[in-house]
Amino acid sequence: MSGNNTNLLLRSNLKQLRLPTIQAEFEKLAREAAAANEGYEQYLLRLTELEVATRGANALAARIRAAGFPVHKDFDTFDFTAVPSLSKPKVLELARGEWVEQRANCCLIGSPGTGKTHVATALGLAACRQGKKVRFYTAAALVTRLEEAQKQYQLERVLGQLDRADLLICDELGYLSFSRAGAELLFQVFADRYERRSLLVTSNLAFSDWGQVFQGERMTAALLDRLTHRCHIFEMNGESFRFKESMKSKKRKAGE
Ligand code: ADP
Ligand code: MG
């Protein structure tokens, strides 16, 4: 059989076996292996390594897409010195992801512009890299989604989807208050996750003010009791980073 024919058959087999990276690379790597006098196993190892690496990268990209992060902010662009109240070692410890495996929760509480969404996203990205399923919603978007699903008799399906996420991020709780029905749906999601799945909540409200969002002392107390049991709580107070940056650039311009 000619080499050409062999390659054609090989290509067809690799396609059937769904090994696109090996299919794309085997000829080039075969030439390199021959030139370097590499053995068969070495060659096969290189090919399979490439396939495994590409698959891993594709799966990660798919997990990040599915998470629905509003922006791609990571720790490399986060300036911890700007938020002295936030412990860098503790946050980086969380970025290792064990808390998600332990089904613990995390709350980031602080005034607007202090980096809550940034840190929540970076923690979510870290979890994606560890192979975990993440879903990011603002509280308002999550409630809307639940209400819509309920209207269309799809609530069970949507709750199931949320349940499959190892980490649910609920950003900006407290900016908007919900209808009683909306608050109850959100409560149901939070309560369902208790000790089974992780939840990360960011809020501009201190816990003592959550009654405004959840309406009713009893529901708020029940929710906080579950959320804050085994919870990493970070207070991010201080000046708004956006505000500080815009003041800095104004000063720079004035100095010109
Ligand atoms: P919050 O969610 O608390 O209102 P954000 O996370 O949206 O705040 O932060 C506002 C903007 O400032 C974003 O663009 C964010 O990336 C940036 N930012 C906030 N804090 C920091 C920080 N400590 N280092 C770098 N960028 C920051
Ligand atoms: Mg935010």
Q: Which ligand is closest to the CA of 242, given by its number?
A: 1
pLDDT average, residue stretch 227-243? 86
Classify residue 172 as left (phi > 0), alpha (psi -120 to 50) or beta.
left
Residues near 25 by beta carbon (within 8 Å), at least 6 away in sequence: 47, 50
15 CA to middle of ligand 2, Å?
A: 45
> Which one is predicted more confidently, 30 or 250?
30
Supply the residue whose CA is at minimum distance from atom 9 of ligand 1: 115
Task: Indicate if the pLDDT at residue 62 is higher than 80.
Answer: yes
Taking the CA of residue 119 as reference, the ligand 1 atom at the shortest distance is 6
Residues near 204 by beta carbon (within 8 Å), at least 6 away in sequence: 109, 110, 111, 112, 172, 174, 175
* In the chain, % of residues over pLDDT 70: 96
Smallest CA-to-CA distance from 201 within 108, 72, 119, 130 is with 108
- Burial (CB count within 10 angstroms: exposed 0-12, middle 13-18, buried 19+), residue 238: middle
Point out the least confidently predicted range of 45-49, 55-59, 71-75, 217-221. Answer: 217-221
- Cα 130 to Cα 207: distance, rounded to the nearest angstrom: 30
Q: pLDDT value at position 217?
A: 84
Task: Indicate if the pLDDT at residue 176 is higher than 60.
Answer: yes
- Cα 108 to Cα 93: distance, rounded to the nearest angstrom: 15
141 CA to middle of ligand 1, Å?
A: 20
112 CA to middle of ligand 1, Å?
A: 9
Q: In what order do the strands lie in the sheet with 231-235?
A: 134-138, 167-173, 198-203, 105-109, 231-235
116 CA to middle of ligand 1, Å?
A: 7
With the most atoms of ligand 1 within 8 angstroms of its CB, the residue from 123, 235, 237, 241 to mutate is 241
Supply the residue whose CA is at minimum distance from atom 23 of ligand 1: 79
Taking the CA of residue 81 as reference, the ligand 1 atom at the shortest distance is 23
For residues 186 and 139, the answer to whether their CB atoms sit within 8 Å is yes
Question: Is the C-beta atom of 46 inside 6 A of ligand 1?
Answer: no
Supply the residue whose CA is at minimum distance from atom 25 of ligand 1: 78
Q: Between the CA of residue 159 and those of 7, 12, 133, 189, 247, what are the distances in Å? A: 49, 42, 15, 7, 44
Question: Is the C-beta atom of 83 inside 6 A of ligand 1?
Answer: yes
Question: Is the C-beta atom of 69 inside 6 A of ligand 1?
Answer: no
> Which one is predicted more confidently, 121 or 85?
121
Task: Indicate if the pLDDT at residue 248 is higher than 80.
Answer: no
Residues near 99 by beta carbon (within 8 Å), at least 6 away in sequence: 105, 106, 198, 232
pLDDT average, residue stretch 149-158? 96
Q: Which ligand is closest to the CA of 84, given by its number?
A: 1
- Residues 89-144 have pLDDT tens digits of 999 999 999 999 999 999 999 999 999 999 999 999 999 999 999 999 999 999 99
Quick one: tokens of 84? 């002295």
Task: Indicate if the pLDDT at residue 256 is higher than 70.
Answer: no
CA angle at 125 for the pair 122 and 130, rounded to the nearest 5°: 130
Quick one: tokens of 104? 């613990």
Question: Is the C-beta atom of 78 inside 6 A of ligand 1?
Answer: yes
Supply the residue whose CA is at minimum distance from atom 5 of ligand 1: 115
pTM across the whole model: 0.88
